[in-house]
Chains A and B, each alone.
Chain A
Amino acid sequence: MEGLLHVEDLNIEFHDHIVPETVVYDFDLDMKEGEIVGLVGESGSGKSMSALAIAGLLSRHDMKKRGVIRFEGKSILDCPREELRQLQGDEICIIFQEPLTSLNPVKKIGWQVEESLRIHTDLPPEIRKQKALEALKEVELDDPQRVYDSYPHELSGGMRQRVMIAAAMVGNPKLLIADEPTTALDVTVQSQIVELLKKINKEKKTAILFISHDLSLVGQLCQRVLVMKNGYVVEEGTVEEIFDHPKESYTQKLISAIPKCEGAQDTVKNNPVLAEVEDVCVSFTKRKGLKKETKEVLKHVSLQINEGEILGLVGESGCGKSTLAKTIIGLLKPQSGRVNTKYPNTQMIFQDPYGSLNPTKTVGFIMEEPLKNLTEMSEQERRALAEEMITRVGLDPMYLSRYPSELSGGQRQRVCIATALMLKPKLIIADEPVSALDVTIQAEVLKLMSDLHNELGISFLFISHDLRVVYKMCDRILVMKSGEIVEEGNRSDIYEHPKHTYTKELLKSAGL
């Protein structure tokens, strides 16, 4: 008996180069009605391609698909576009990673939520509106009528993803494909969306194919898991099997790369103060017509960074973490308060290693640039130091003559770290250094940073929204919310005895 979805020997090839490139090999999947299946893998593993093929959205002519995809007995790969259209948005729905760009920016939310109904049913406008409002209510949006009349840019990230889900669920589909639906969202919102998907599955019996690079999320939500690597499904099983007895070494590596919150010892140090922030306030003023609008981003923030420690700073996007980092390094001048640093040359590493390296310069040029500006070193000395530092971060000196586009994401972040090391700083501020990286590469970069910490005695201010990573890395932790530091303490204090309700909420969302 065939279930809801049957995929057999699916192969996907790109034909835009001289040699065709296969991105998915022999993909098999069977889904029953009401089942939640997770599809895990790193970027480029072929998981999104497989999902798009199942949703009937891979129609580029330079792409070849072979194999069988059957949805309720109907073949997706070779049915005519007109028949496929009848399934899309009605029986099979899909939500995407970035809800802002996935919604049409110039159409109202209501129009977009009603769209599937307009296409697939003959319901009169009033009923459509009523159904859309119900769908918006079901995804737990507070004021459905207001959301209905809004444009996408007027909503927050979490609200937009809820809208996407509402638009998908409005026609009661049998299969919901969720392609990295939480990756672009804050951690507390992430867990809310996962809870929402669980609820939908329970109440409406919708089958969900959940695609993610985050194994821990998949563990929270799914019953069955497929692990993909380089286009192949390398392992398949129930969540318990995969997590407790992973067979493949790749799966084991993925699981061990999830930072665990156990076994770390508090190391209480009373080292001298390296940098100090005293009562700093930062606000931005935006002119709105004749009125000026002032937004306070940092409100009387004080903190100390001691020599030889890794200080964690956690909080959601928009809470002022990055503004604080920029203030410490001197890129922003605070309106009031003081920043004292004992040593010069504090360096910073940014989140996006793609965007923060100039694509037209070689790695060597990028690394030597701060020395040219700030020191009197000769060309040979600079090159020697660059070679030393790039070896230090685990790359061969031959990479110095490459361009950023010729490096992988992890290699780029290593180059950023090596560049920060060139001026021999005592303090490095790392602003979400691993958020843009795949989980196994994340683990490698984190290990590199703690090695540098142990061997060179460099202090870090480690900014992250990921509480697991912070647990692994940091001795002391600050929790930030809306421009204020709401809690400060040692690792065990924060994680085992959180005092502030916001800290508790963060820990709960992270599943800790």
Chain B
Amino acid sequence: MRYVFKKILSSIITLFIVSLLVFVAFALIPGDPALSRLGTNATESALASLRHQMGLDKPLMVRYFIWLGSALRGDFGTSYSYSMSVTSMIADKLPITVTLMIYSLLLMIVISVPLGVYASYKEGTLIDRIIQIINQIVMAIPPFFSGILITLFFGMILRIFTPGGFVSISKNAVGFFGFMFFPSLAIALPKSAMVLNLLYSSLNGEKKKDYVRTAYSRGNRSKTVFFGHMLKNASIPTITFLGMALADIIAGSIIIEQVFGIPGLGRILLTSIQNRDYPVVIAIIMLVAVVVIICNLAVDIIYRIVDPRVEENT
């Protein structure tokens, strides 16, 4: 418990440092938000009054703490280009992107773990080699391309789903999850190939360990040695990788939302960057940071449950 508490504390500190860095970085980017909002023909007095209204005339650190104070209350300010609250802009898009992420993560685990375990269990057989070859090919495909291929194959040829036919969850829940399966698959496929490969090679590495020989010497069945002894040991590096892969999934989802025409955070992020709509960009970056840090926290805690030796090294 003390360990979890300490990890949470250090995560919160990390989050504050990230928020400071992000805020300062965007404040230092050349360009005047007031000017871009009013256009180049605006009068100096109009600009000054808008700057005052937006709080841009205050010192940087004061602005940071004002922003931080309202952000902690869930208020990320007002969008420069849409003049509406950032929080309400993000609020209805966030569930879509989060669904996409969790969906991808689940698919990734469902695809990679059984196949990796099976291939290693059948090491050296034909089926193992076939899995390996397909895996190598899939690993080399970037998410946007797998997205295009999936649209082409499932959407245009098999006509299982309608490309671009996004339905919101409130209208048709079944349709929503049915549609989301394909973009999630596009994100998950290349990553699952990596997880599969990692799990496969760590399982094969475990086979040569001394404790496996001990397990055989006690009369275990091969299956028990494999599932009862090796799997837990081999899962340790895989868990670490899953944590890192999650951060990658977020990046992947931004691109995939474009490919599949999903109105998620990715689209807002892209347009806000183009419009220099910094409050929106900062808010999304902070959200991503929160997700990544929570994932890392979860990985650290799971890691400790799986591997009793972790305590020593921390």
Contact = CB atoms under 8 A, between A and B. Distances in A.
A83 to B, nearest CB: 11
Interface stretch (A63-71, A88-96, A419-427, A452-460): A88-96
For the residues of B in contact with A, the DSSP-based class is helix
Contacts, number: 72
The 7 closest A-B pairs by CB, nearest first: A89-B218, A89-B219, A88-B219, A101-B210, A151-B308, A104-B211, A102-B210
Nearest to A96: B210
A104 B219 contact: no
A167 B232 CA distance: 21
Given A85-B221, A89-B218, A106 B209 contact: no
A101 B209 contact: yes
Interface in A62-121: 85-90, 93-94, 96, 98, 101-107, 115-116, 119-120
Contact of B307 (A89, A93, A102, A106): A106
Interface in B228-265: 229, 232-233, 236
Given A116-B218, A167-B218, 20 more contacts: A55-B217, A57-B217, A86-B219, A88-B216, A88-B218, A88-B219, A89-B217, A96-B213, A104-B211, A104-B229, A104-B233, A105-B233, A105-B307, A106-B309, A119-B219, A119-B220, A151-B308, A153-B309, A153-B312, A289-B6
B214 interface: yes
B312 A57 contact: no
A121 B55 CA distance: 77
A153 B310 CA distance: 10
B211 A101 contact: yes
A506 B219 CA distance: 38
Contacts of B220: 85, 89, 115, 119
Interface of A: 55, 57, 85-90, 93-94, 96, 98, 101-107, 115-116, 119-120, 151, 153, 164, 167, 289
B286 interface: no
Interface string B35-65: 0000000000000000000000000000000
Nearest to B212: A104
B306 interface: yes
The number of chain B residues touching the other chain, given as a range, is 20 to 34
Contact of B211 (A85, A94, A102, A289): A102
A108 to B, nearest CB: 8
B215 interface: yes
B217 A98 contact: no
Given A105-B309, A106-B232, A151-B309, A87 B219 contact: yes
Contacts of B236: 106
